[in-house]
Amino acid sequence: MKSYQELGKEELLALKEKLNAEYEEAKKKGLSLDMSRGKPAVSQLAMGMDIMNALTIESDMKSENGLDVRNYGVLEGIPEARKLMAEIMGVKPENVIVCGNSSLNIMYDTVARSMTHGVMGSTPWCKLDKVSFLCPAPGYDRHFAITQHFGIEMIPVPMTTEGPDMDMVERLVAQDPSVKGIWCVPKYSNPQGYTYSDETVKRFAALKPAAEDFRIFWDNAYAVHDLYEDRSDVLLEIFDQCEKAGNPDMVYEFCSTSKVSFAGAGIAAIASSKGNLEWMKKSMTVQTIGYDKVNQLRHVRYYKDLNGIKAHMRKHAAMLRPKFDAVLETLDKELSGLGIGEWTRPNGGYFISFQALDGCAKAIVAKCKEAGMTLTGAGATYPYGKDPKDSNIRIAPSFPTPEEMAQATELFVLCVKLVSVEKLLNQ
C-alpha cells in the first residue's frame, strides 16, 4: 500500500473525490456516537450493582475500630478503607486519608490549600509573584483546568514512552523556584497509555527542587486498570524511592474507585508523608467533620481487599478489551502504511492516543462531529488547549458498545484520510 505522501496530485484528487463520496454517505446514516470522555459503559456500571447489597438495614454499621459509620468523626477515613486504598496504591495505611468520591476534588483542594495557606509552612502561593507547574503533554485536560483556574502558569513537558522528558523536568525543577509542582498520570497515562519506567520514577524521587514547597502530583488513576492479564504494566512504587532519595515529603498520590465501582459514587484517597497529611488536616478539620464513612464501609464489605478489587477489574477488562481491540484492528487495517497517522497500543487505562499529520487534528474532530461522532476537543490534551502541532486526538473507547466502537472507528479513519488528503493537496 502506497503512503499518501508518495501519491501524485492526480492520484490525490481522485482519492479525495472517492473519500468525499464515502463521507457524504456516512453523514446520511444519522449517527450519534460519543467518544468524548472516558466514561464507563452502562454495562460496566450494572455489573457492580450488587455492591448496594453489601449494607442492608440489618448490617452492623460499625467499622473495625468500633466507630458507628453513620455518625461524625474519623477525618482520615475508617481503618479498613484506608487499608484498602493503601493496597491499591502500594503504600502504608497510615499514609492515607480517604475522602469523598472524587480524586479530582482532592487535587483541586490540594492546589487551593497551597494557594491560600502554603505547603507545610511555606509562603502561600497566592502571595508569590509567580507560580508555575510542569505539565507533561499530551496529558489530562482536567489537571490543566485546575492550574489554569488558579492562574498558575503551565509549562508543557514532552511525553516519551518512558514518561515525561526527565532531562527537562530535572533542569526546570532545579533552576526555577517558581516551579511548585508537576502533574503526573504514571500508569497508563491519559491519553497515551504509557507507564513510567523504573528509571523515570527513580529520577522523580531524586529531584532536587529549587522550591522547598515543590510537590509531585502523582495521579495514579489507573493503578488497577489492566486490560490484558498476560501483559500488564508494572509501576515502581514512588514513596519508597523518595525515602531512599531523602525526599519523603515530595509526593502527593491520588487514587479513586471511580472506574472500579461507580464513576459518581466511589471512594477517593490521597497518600503522602506524615508531615504533609498533618498540614492538610489543619484545613480539612475546618472543611469537614468527616467524609462519607457509610460508602467507605460499603466498599470494604464488598471488595474486602486488593484481591477482591483485582477480581472485579478482570470483569471490567473483559468488557473493555473488545472495544480497544475494535479500534486497534480498524486503525491497523485502514491506516497502516499510509503515513498519515500513528497510534498507541496501551496495556490498560481508558484511552488510545492518535497522532495525525501536523495541522490536521481540529479538522478531523470537526468532520467527525459533522457526521455524528463526538470526540474530545482537539488541543484538550495540552495546557491552555493549545496543541502546538494540532496533531493529537484522544480516543475514548469505553462508553460505546463494541459494535458502535467499530462503526465509530470506521468513520474516524475516513475523516483522517479525507483531511490528510486535503492537507497534502494544499502543500
Total domain count, the chain: 2
* Element containing residue 412 per DSSP (H, E): helix 402-426
**Per-residue pLDDT tens over the stretch 124-166:** 999 999 999 999 999 999 999 999 999 999 999 999 999 999 9
Q: Is residue 343 part of a domain?
A: yes
Exposed e or buried b per residue across 48-77, where buried means at least 16 C-beta atoms within 10 angstroms of its C-beta: beebeeebeeeeeeebeeebebeeeebbbb
Shared domain check, 192 and 140? yes
Question: What's the pLDDT band for 33 if we cut at 50, 70, 90?
Answer: confident
Shared domain check, 212 and 191? yes
Last residue of a domain, which of 304, 326, 342? Answer: 304
Question: What's the pLDDT band for 398 if we cut at 50, 70, 90?
Answer: very high
Last residue of a domain, which of 304, 325, 351? Answer: 304
Shared domain check, 78 and 24? no
Shared domain check, 241 and 122? yes
Shared domain check, 207 and 296? yes
Sign of the Cα torsion 404, 410, 413, 417 reads negative
Q: Tell me the pLDDT of the chain averaged across its residues.
A: 96
With 90 as the cut, is the pLDDT of residue 24 above it? yes
**C-alpha closest to that of 374 among 31, 42, 140, 142:** 31
Shared domain check, 102 and 232? yes
Shared domain check, 329 and 288? no
Q: Is residue 49 part of a domain?
A: no
Question: What's the pLDDT band for 7 if we cut at 50, 70, 90?
Answer: very high
Question: What's the pLDDT band for 87 if we cut at 50, 70, 90?
Answer: very high
Shared domain check, 412 and 392? yes
151: Cβ contacts below 8 Å, ≥ 6 apart: 131
**Per-residue pLDDT tens over the stretch 291-315:** 999 999 999 999 999 999 999 999 9
How many Å apart are CA 291 and CA 99, to the nearest integer? Answer: 6
Question: What pLDDT is recorded for position 189?
Answer: 98
Global confidence as pTM: 0.96
Question: What pLDDT is recorded for position 1?
Answer: 66
Q: Is residue 51 part of a domain?
A: no
Shared domain check, 314 and 299? no
CATH code, domain with 187: 3.40.640.10
Shared domain check, 380 and 282? no
Last residue of a domain, which of 304, 320, 337? Answer: 304
Question: What pLDDT is recorded for position 36?
Answer: 82
CB contact at 8 A, 294 and 139 = no
125: Cβ contacts below 8 Å, ≥ 6 apart: 114, 115, 118, 131, 150, 152, 180, 213
77 conformational bin, left if phi > 0, alpha if psi -120 to 50, beta if neither: left
Provide mean pLDDT across the span 351-362: 97
Provide mean pLDDT across the span 397-423: 93
Question: What pLDDT is recorded for position 337?
Answer: 95
Q: Is residue 56 part of a domain?
A: no
Q: Is residue 55 part of a domain?
A: no
* Alpha carbon distance, N-terminus to C-terminus of the chain: 22
With 80 as the cut, is the pLDDT of residue 86 above it? yes
**Per-residue pLDDT tens over the stretch 179-237:** 999 999 999 999 999 999 999 999 999 999 999 999 999 999 999 999 998 999 999 99
In sequence order, what are the beta bridge partners of 270? 97, 254
Provide mean pLDDT across the span 272-281: 97
CA distances from 185 to 67, 193, 255 (A): 35, 9, 10
Q: Is residue 52 part of a domain?
A: no
Q: Cell digits for 402?
A: 463494541
CB contact at 8 A, 215 and 251 = yes
Helix (H, G, I), strand (E, B) or coil at 156: strand
How many Å apart are CA 49 and CA 54, to the nearest integer? Answer: 10
Q: Is residue 91 part of a domain?
A: yes
Sign of the Cα torsion 169, 174, 176, 179 reads positive
Kindly report the CA angle at 40 between 35 and 46, in degrees rounded to 5? 135
Look up the domain containing 112 and give its range.
63-304
Helix (H, G, I), strand (E, B) or coil at 375: strand
**Inter-residue long-range contacts of 129-134, CB under 8 Å, 24+ positions, other chains counted:** 129/178, 130/178, 131/178, 131/180, 132/176, 132/178, 132/179, 132/180, 133/179, 133/180, 133/181, 133/182, 133/183, 134/164, 134/169, 134/172, 134/173, 134/179, 134/181, 134/182, 134/183
Question: What pLDDT is recorded for position 401?
Answer: 86
Shared domain check, 247 and 332? no
CATH code, domain with 37: 3.90.1150.10
Shared domain check, 316 and 246? no
With 70 as the cut, is the pLDDT of residue 329 above it? yes
**Per-residue pLDDT tens over the stretch 89-105:** 999 999 999 999 999 99
Question: What's the pLDDT band for 406 if we cut at 50, 70, 90?
Answer: confident
- HSE (CB half, 13 Å, CA atoms) of 206? 9
Q: Is residue 357 part of a domain?
A: yes
Alpha helices, DSSP H, located in 226-305: 238-245, 274-287, 293-303
